[in-house]
Structure 1
Amino acid sequence: MSFEDTGLLPKALALALMSLSTATPALAQALPPPVAQPGDGPEDARLKRLFYDSDEASLKRNPIQAIFRGDLRYADRLGDPLSDRAIAAERSAAEADLRGLNAIDRAKLTAVDKLAYDVFQNQTQVALRGLSPEIVALTVVRPLDHFYGFQTFYPEFASGIGAAPFKTLADYENNLMRNAQYAALLDAAIVRFRQGMKTGVVQPKLVVRNVIAQFDMLIKEGVEASTFAGPIKTFPTGIAAADQARLRAAYAAQIRDVILPAERRMRDFLANTYLAAARDSVGLSGMPGGERLYAYLIESNTTLPLKAEEVHRLGLSEVSRILGEMEAQKTKAGFKGSLPEFFTFMRTDKRFQPQSATQVRDGYFAIGKRVDARIREQFSLIPKTPLEIRAVPPFKEKTDAGGSYQGGTPDGSRPGVFYYNSYDLPSRYLWTMETLYLHEAVPGHHFQISVAQENAALPAFMRFGGNTAYAEGWALYAETLWPELGVETDPYQRMGGLSDEMLRAMRLVVDTGIHAKGWGRDQSIDYMLANSPMGRTDATAEVERYIAIPGQALAYKIGQLTILRAKAKAKAALGTKFDPRAFHAQVLDSGALPMPVLEAKIDRWIAAGGK
């Protein structure tokens, strides 16, 4: 899972949260000004300067993104994403960027810069629509949910094992300042929630209860066991003993007197005031302005102007197709009952349930070795960024996805991390592991994110930004490479692959069902259980995710189908000249392209003979 997507600041700190998966490089300073490439003319130089100036200004407005990139110039700041001033600044910047872009003659650009022009234009136009007063009024007053909330990412970010560095005394001091701003953001979020209560634009009760549970977990940690105390457990060499003692006292006092009180204020406000005003409905169709917002979210997440009804029909068609493939695997496994009975067997038979978290961890390491042995048969672009496998931190494992990825840095100072979830072990079926690794790790998000950010020739917004349809579409496409990479060789692991693909197909049905057709939580969970072998824990987490972040789940299948369609077109046109390594390089080496831009790029590659 990754969230690199819309650049919508009003969605609770979405810009920062997106960075968790859009991964960014450790630079520790500003990117150097653009350098002319061979063949560049005056218009190319103007375009590159526009990109550079836009990125520099964005990092200053959104310092958390800079920190994820290892750029520490603004590391004492967390940002102010909920203020009217910050939202106006984002809107003004997008308008200025488009004016600057329109002043450049696209026809005079090199082919590479024409591609960059198209991506920048598409992304900025979509972001600007999301910053319109009409959309902001529907998003900023719902600043937290259990998926995209400060509380879902910031504690780990500041824990000493997240993206924030703790190598110097300045790093520790900067974190203290950011922590204070985190507490202030929680109070600012309460103000925004109260505004939404007046307009009727509120979160579902289900989401509010999940957020309350997350704050309960954080508060329960206390001071010494707090996630925020992680940095003072150990110190790097070079920090004097006196400074260590001072920092231990300062961190403990801040957790006790600033962070925990702010988290309690938020928790009590949600439980005692906001919950009663929250809506019983779970879909956006039950919220004032929800239909307008959902239409925007479909386009911003898929990069295509799709209607909810056509997405719903596409999902139903894909579900039907995948059910047929599942029937074939059931027969191959020798199971004599019906497909629903086969699902129940796969959910309940002890042989498919891990006995320990260690077994899960070791299983992923073994899968990684098998994939690595075959990967160069399909890929010529192999990231330099190392990959690490870790368990999801306990404070968020109950509501976190089964697997996720956090990007590393191109200089290797921070690895990419594949997180696996070992909460409720009986539901972490062994038959899910191979396909999950392909999606989140290799050749999924780890390749998609690392290859782009290691390409210093790309403008920063293409190296480090992106959209959900590309990022998640690529990761789902990566799952289809199971035959070439030598995994899913038994019918149960293959059912795991089909189950994951079915999940993405069901998302088209369920997300649109919830937000455009009035489906409820239980109806949505039942639909997922009836059409796949996934367990109730996962189905529940999935449905509650769609409720919290409408539209994001649509991007996976839409993106995968676009890439598969482009691949089929290339194979048909190039015949024996088709090289999967060259195709994959074309898809990966320009970063996360909007779907129309990606299709046009592949068309040009085909016309050039696949070279």
Structure 2
Amino acid sequence: MPKTIMTTASALVLALLAAPVLAHGPAPAGAPAAAAPAPQADAASESAKLAALFRQSDEAQLARNPLFALFRGDMRYADQFGDYISDAYFAAEKAAIKADLKALAAIDRDRLSDGERISYDVFKWQREMDLKGHAPEIMAATVVRPVDHFNGVHIFVPELFSGKSAAPFRTVKDYEDNLKRLDGFVATLDGVLARLRQGLATGVVQPKLVSERMLRQFDGFVAGGVEEMPLMMPVRNFPDTVPEAERARLTDAYARAVGEKVLPAYARIRDFLRDDYLAAARGNEKPGLLSMPGGTALYSHLVASQTTTAMTPDEIHDLGLSEVRRIHGEMRAVMREVGFKGDLKAFFEHIRTDPKFKPESREALTQGYYDIGKRVDVALPKLFSTLPKTKLEIRPYPDFMEKDAAGGSYQPGTPDGARPGIFYFNAYDLPSRTTPGMETLYLHEGAPGHHFQIALAQENEALPAFQRFGGNTAFVEGWALYAESLGRELGMFTDPYQYYGRLDDEMLRAMRLVVDTGLHHKGWSRQQAIDYMLANSSQGETDVVNEVDRYVAMPGQALAYKVGDLRIQAARKRAEKALGKRFDIRDFHEQVLMSGALPLEVLDQKIDRWIESRKG
């Protein structure tokens, strides 16, 4: 997701779809009317002011962040890359946030419709959280760490500009625009180097394990040269709409841009990481934020922004331990169902090592996901009254990404359907991977998980654009985890081992509550985190190491999944109990999804109003 939601600067443009991208749109359809409507003229005035704020903020946001527009299919700034890293950029963002909040405070919320109040509340929460992210102590701990091995322009941009992502390559102008963007990319890479140098001077640096992986990535790009750089893919695969007479010129221009500008910029960062940064990196014994200046304050901010709650790290840690115990009980029930003789630890090892749980080949793994997708598609109308118009494609990760990538991810399409949503799965190191989690991974990353939540929001033109294109991790990932729980209702998990895969993935999200807080709040070592995850699940060692290193690199983000899921599950149970036979699962899902990704408190308030309106 594009879905990782980070309001701090360290995410750079990888937080594109999570950023508060704003525009005008009417209130969501189907929202209950306010109990006591205000006089029409006054209400119209307040509604107009709210709409103007959303419209003006959106236009300014897109102008400052042209890649945001590119992801939305808005080509007005297609020849611009943007800044994203200088002091002037951050000052402009902070000034815009303050101006937005000042304008919002001048609007009388009581005179808005119920749907407009939802938009008001979401906008207020997001902009206030953005402002907290620009506090000096948070900025000092983030801007000097602009890249890691999961996030950053060094891996994001080659894929974005590869011809397989959001940047279009249909016309000669598209190719020319991208050449201009590459100049901005090089400038940003040099800005990354300057920020890393700044962090070295202040002692705010990445852990050694992150630095080593970053070094390997930069070195790999440099060693691969022009021919292996994904940025060259558009000139190896010209569409018919680009004339033959232009192709040689464009190929030469791209080769010179990559060879003379981009790769030297990569080499400058590679050399700095190798010669200076790595020696000063934080040790792996205590890689969490506790070991970094400003880390404690940063982690508190990340916990609040990622979960959208007031939960403390200790409360989240204890919740995780409780969920681990509960899920272990369900796993033991599966053991009894399949007749396994032995304890849970032995069952984990059985799942990890038995050849029958290993993918036969990349081709077989791919076909397996195709087959799952077809089965899910048939059942979806039973649970959802609105289905996305945007198509969903299934692909393995590109070669240059797969080694350090998660087991799967989702890349959104465009609202007009011109670019499909993409479910990526990881086919790297097949012997370390197991098949029981395949149905669950598809439900989470594909349908009805991220694809439904993100595509339905983007396609809903009744929403302001910050609700269509923005969001928060707790809702986005909470919904996707909730979507896994719908498997049996969708006809999945008929194989007990596939249901075990669901429990194993749920266990992963429960363990994240324990391990993330353990690393960043309780001072766990990397090995302690790895050992905990291996002992409590059947995750393979390669997956576990990548997961732990992800939590080190992206503090707080992994907390959002289980916190959001539990809140959505609780809302459903509350509605089922209150409405009884009047409860309609399709209506419930409509209420959850059709206002975009809401902070969890705003979601609860919306569901409670819906319940009251249905009691009759």
Q: CA RMSD, aligned part only?
A: 1.7
Cα distance in 1 for partners of 2:429, 2:324 equals 27
Cα distance in 1 for partners of 2:210, 2:3 equals 19
Cα distance in 1 for partners of 2:408, 2:248 equals 38
Cα distance in 1 for partners of 2:463, 2:269 equals 41
Q: Which runs of 5 or more structure 2 residues have no equivalent in the other structure?
A: 30-39
Cα distance in 2 for partners of 1:37, 1:210 equals 44
Query: Is 1:21–1:406's contact at 8 Å kept on the other side of the alignment?
Result: no
Which TM-score applies when normalising by structure 1?
A: 0.96
Query: Is 2:20–2:126's contact at 8 Å kept on the other side of the alignment?
Result: no
Query: Which structure 2 residues correspond to residues 159-178 of structure 1 after superposition, within 5 A?
Result: 159-178=162-181
Please list the CA deviations of residues 190-239 of structure 1 after superposition, one character each: whole Å capped at 9, or x if unmatched.
11111111211111011000111111222232212321110101222343
2:468 is the counterpart of 1:469: no
Cα distance in 2 for partners of 1:486, 1:570 equals 23
Match of 1:17 among 14, 18, 26: 14
Partner-residue secondary structure (3-state), 1:453: helix
Query: Is 2:27–2:462's contact at 8 Å kept on the other side of the alignment?
Result: no
Partner of 1:282: 287
Q: Which amino acid aligns with 1:169?
A: V
Partner of 2:255: 252
Partner of 1:522: 527
Match of 2:352 among 341, 347, 353: 347
Partner of 1:337: 342
Aligned-pair distance for 1:240?
2.8
Partner of 1:536: 541
Partner-residue secondary structure (3-state), 1:163: coil
Query: Which structure 2 residues correspond to residues 505-584 of structure 1 after superposition, within 5 A?
Result: 505-584=510-589
Please list the CA deviations of residues 444-483 of structure 1 after superposition, one character each: whole Å capped at 9, or x if unmatched.
0000001101000100000000000000000000000011
Aligned-pair distance for 1:152?
2.1
Cα distance in 2 for partners of 1:321, 1:388 equals 35
* Number of matched pairs: 602
2:129 is the counterpart of 1:126: yes
Match of 1:416 among 409, 417, 421: 421
Cα distance in 2 for partners of 1:184, 1:144 equals 15
Match of 2:613 among 576, 592, 608: 608
2:601 is the counterpart of 1:587: no
Partner-residue secondary structure (3-state), 1:418: strand
Query: Is 1:20–1:406's contact at 8 Å kept on the other side of the alignment?
Result: no
Please list the CA deviations of residues 253-282 of structure 1 after superposition, one character each: whole Å capped at 9, or x if unmatched.
111111111111111110111111111131
Partner of 1:79: 82
Query: Is 2:5–2:18's contact at 8 Å kept on the other side of the alignment?
Result: no
Please list the CA deviations of residues 3-61 of structure 1 after superposition, one character each: whole Å capped at 9, or x if unmatched.
352433x2241xx212367899xxxxx97x65699986111111011011111111111
Cα distance in 2 for partners of 1:601, 1:548 equals 34
Partner-residue secondary structure (3-state), 1:431: coil
Q: Which amino acid aligns with 1:125?
A: E
Query: Is 1:4–1:22's contact at 8 Å kept on the other side of the alignment?
Result: no
Partner of 1:140: 143
Query: Is 1:6–1:127's contact at 8 Å kept on the other side of the alignment?
Result: no
Q: Which amino acid aligns with 1:3?
A: K
Partner-residue secondary structure (3-state), 1:222: helix
Distance 1:275 1:446, change over 3 A: same
Partner-residue secondary structure (3-state), 1:162: coil
Cα distance in 1 for partners of 2:542, 2:28 equals 52
Q: Percent identity?
A: 55
Aligned-pair distance for 1:610?
6.5
Partner-residue secondary structure (3-state), 1:495: helix
Cα distance in 2 for partners of 1:455, 1:318 equals 35
Q: Which amino acid aligns with 1:11?
A: S
Partner of 2:464: 459
Q: Which amino acid aligns with 1:42?
A: S
Cα distance in 2 for partners of 1:245, 1:342 equals 58
Query: Is 2:473–2:560's contact at 8 Å kept on the other side of the alignment?
Result: yes
Query: Is 2:27–2:116's contact at 8 Å kept on the other side of the alignment?
Result: no
Partner of 1:191: 194
Cα distance in 1 for partners of 2:372, 2:585 equals 22
Cα distance in 2 for partners of 1:79, 1:471 equals 26
Partner-residue secondary structure (3-state), 2:240: coil
Please list the CA deviations of residues 151-170 of structure 1 after superposition, one character each: whole Å capped at 9, or x if unmatched.
22110111111110111111
Cα distance in 2 for partners of 1:49, 1:539 equals 48
